[in-house]
Amino acid sequence: MYKQLVANVEIDSGFWKKYIDLVIDTVIPYQYEALNDRIEGAEPSYAIQNLRIAARDIEGKYNGMVFQDSDLYKWIEAAAYTLKYKSNDILEKRIDEIACLLEKAQLPDGYLNTFYIVNDITKRWTNLCDCHELYCIGHLIEASVAYYESTSKDKLLNISCKAVDNICDVFGNDKDKLKGYPGHQEIELALIKLYNVTKNEKYLELSKFFIYTRGTENPNYFIEEWKKNGKKREFGLNDIKPMLEYNQCHVPVYDQKVAVGHSVRAVYMYTAMADIARITKDEKLINACKELWDNITQKQMYITGGIGSTNIGEAFTFDYDMPNDTIYAETCASIGLLLFANRMSLLEQKSEYADIIEKILYNIVIASMAQDGKHYFYVNPLEVFPKASKLNPTQFHVKPERQPWFGCSCCPPNVARILASLHKYIYSVTEDTVYVSQFIDSLLDCEIAANNINIKQNSELPWKGNIKLNVLLKKASEFKLALRIPSWNIQKPKLMINGKEIAFIEKNGYAIVDRIWENNDVVDFEVTVEVIIMESNPLVKKNIGKVAIQRGPLIYCLEEVDNFSNINEAVINVDTVWKETSMDISSLEVVVLIDRKSVV
């Protein structure tokens, strides 16, 4: 574990700036229209309508999923991050108007959830297993923290604190309090963010309560809750006893060694566990996080960074069970894994965490969204047979094309908030080291040993392996610069300073240079971007005889539209020399791979 210092980062050009601009100019406005049910041909959201009903602005009945509030909160978080890049009075006004609606809807005691406020407030906190009250507040917290950090406006933050104060009054170890925890984890990691901003210890303690209580009680809280409710549940699950592994409450978190159950819930919880482990220095919890990390990334993760191999419960199944055609791999699950990777990197600075973040960013986050910013994959398939998607009930969830919006639309605003907050994942700064973990055009402004340090990064990834860093200083400074050596790099990287090649120390997957830096020092770091033929672990039975094609951080796909029908009959010559050709696709320059002789 190490102390991470505050750093300011701006993405100012290059490959990823196009996506930032897409989020600012298209995604945020489009999603606002979707949340207001104004996208023709798309499923309605009802999120803002429900809020207006709860605020008594209009009359009506609640519509949508029980967690519909969270879509709006994730959109606010994404919108708040974009204000770091571009001021927008209209966008701020929209967020402020939503804050006013939330303030009107919030009950005097702080409770805030439109599903219960509109339907039946007497039933609040009676179905934690299914009804997502705590999950929704978690996303409200994240939104309010992001908006406060971007604008210094505290109305949303005050609404969140009031809601959490109410939760502190309801939940805890005291005799008269509920000993429950969320059916869908999220508030636990959000509470850490709220604690970081407010320094209020009770928010940290509440997060710890939700994590440490989970799976410790006998009989289990969800089972007793179900019985108390007359064995009635949401989502048509009446008479179906809550599945404890599905909710990761089958054993205490210390004893969870294998990722099980709903994949999004799992990785959100693991993210909070890593946060708490870092803050409290709980070695037993740290070890549990490491074991869970290894299990997911070594035995239950697709080559793209997708997780959750079955649509039944959107869940993990068992080690090496990785079907390609009935895959689930929800976008939100990979985003949760990205968050888990980020928190693990705060426990120990190892390149494997940054490698997974990079893999997910390129192959799930931006791949799940069309270049127009208006169509999305909820499920991220590795193999698609369009006829089966239409006619085979086991593959209805696998879509051959991205969709304009979903009734359960958790993924699109999740993509938006990750892209809008991308600057948070590029660098880590400690008391003596600047870690460059993602190769993204950006400007870093930080301070080490009372010296102000600026680093301007220009990267040619994902198409080429040239990375240049300009070090800008007011005075000479001694510190370490650590550059990630990507897992896909198959040759030793070349590192030059001011045109002269130098040796470096390799530690935990980083190339480290320790020196006294001068103003305008130029670092050139060159990694190898070339085609690699990837094979699965032989225990993945579905992939025996199959390979994947990777170039740099990108996993390539083979499509009938570019080749021929019955693409499943393709045979790849693994020894071929691929022809690499630049091509413009949807205003994005890409490198495509061509070898006519190897595909028959």
Among residues 76, 304, 275, the alpha carbon closest in space to that of 186 is found at: 275
Give the total residue count for the chain: 600
Residues sharing a CB contact under 8 Å with residue 232, sequence separation 6 or more, in sequence order:
238
Residue type, 346: L
d(CA 161, CA 147): 14
Q: State the first-to-last Cα distance of the chain, in angstroms, to the nearest integer.
A: 52
334, 313, 310: which is closest to 322 by C-alpha?
310
Q: Is 411 tagged catalytic?
A: no
CB atoms within 10 A of CB 122: 7
Quick check: is 131 catalytic?
no
Catalytic residue among 129, 168, 249, 410: 410
**Do you find a cis peptide bond into 252, omega within 30 degrees of 0?**
no
Q: Which helix (H) or strand (E) holds 594?
A: strand 588-594
The one catalytic residue in 314, 330, 358, 526 is 314
Structure tokens at 9: 């980062």
List phi, psi (to 5°) of 28.
-60, -50
State both tokens at 261: 């159950």
Distance CA 210, CA 179 (A): 9
Q: Side chain identity at 327, as an amino acid letter?
A: I
80 close to 140: Cβ distance less than 8 angstroms: no
DSSP-assigned states of every residue in 345-393 = HHHS--HHHHHHHHHHIIIIITTSB-TTSS-B-SB--SS--HHHHHH-G
Which residues are the active-site residues?
314, 410
